[in-house]
Amino acid sequence: MKNALRFFRNKYVITVLIVTTVFYPGFAGSIKADVESGRQETEKAAAVAAQTTRVWLTAYSSSVDETDDTPFITASGKYVRDGIVAANFLPFGTMIKIPNVFGDKIFVVEDRMHPRKNGIVDIWMSSKQAALRFGSFKADIVVLKDTGQAKLLVQK
């Protein structure tokens, strides 16, 4: 009985597809377009997650002893907010993730550090205590979007 039902179900599906394709010729084209669209979305997603590298993670706040004379304005001219990081090896506007620490949260490079600090991502925190609690350690970052101004300068 199971085999008969399976045969009937498969025969029914094939019949529906044939009838649909014969009487609605655009239907097959729309299926092909949907498949092609899905393939393009997958390729775009693979292209967006361009590079993973291991860096030192640190944290900073807008206290005067950690910044210049404008502690609430980043090097790119934007006001500090949650999700901003400082990095000397990535161009402004580059989007990154730190999956092992922050999951799917996306950060944007909008600030810089002293020139001697290369290969470090400094995460802005709202208080100095939070930055001190965060500490410093190595972690993987995933570069999601590069504005095309520069290549990743950190060696693995």
Same domain as 73, residue 136: yes
- Six-digit token string for 66: 């950690």
Per-residue confidence (pLDDT) for residue 51, from 0 to 100 = 87
Q: Given a cut of 70, is residue 155 above it in pLDDT?
A: no
Per-residue confidence (pLDDT) for residue 130, from 0 to 100 = 95
Give the separation between CA 33 and CA 38, rounded to whole angstroms. 9
**86, part of any domain:** yes
Same domain as 79, residue 14: no
CB 154 within 8 A of CB 118: yes
Same domain as 59, residue 29: no
**150, part of any domain:** no
- How many domains are there within the chain? 2
Give per-residue pLDDT as tens, 96-108.
999 999 999 999 9
Alpha-carbon torsion (96, 58, 61, 129), positive or negative: positive
Per-residue confidence (pLDDT) for residue 60, from 0 to 100 = 94
pTM for this entry = 0.62
Give the separation between CA 69 and CA 73, rounded to whole angstroms. 9
**89, part of any domain:** yes
Supply the range of the domain harboring residue 124: 50-145
**155, part of any domain:** no
Same domain as 89, residue 38: no
Per-residue confidence (pLDDT) for residue 154, from 0 to 100 = 46
CA dihedral 86, 89, 92, 95 (to 10 degrees): -80
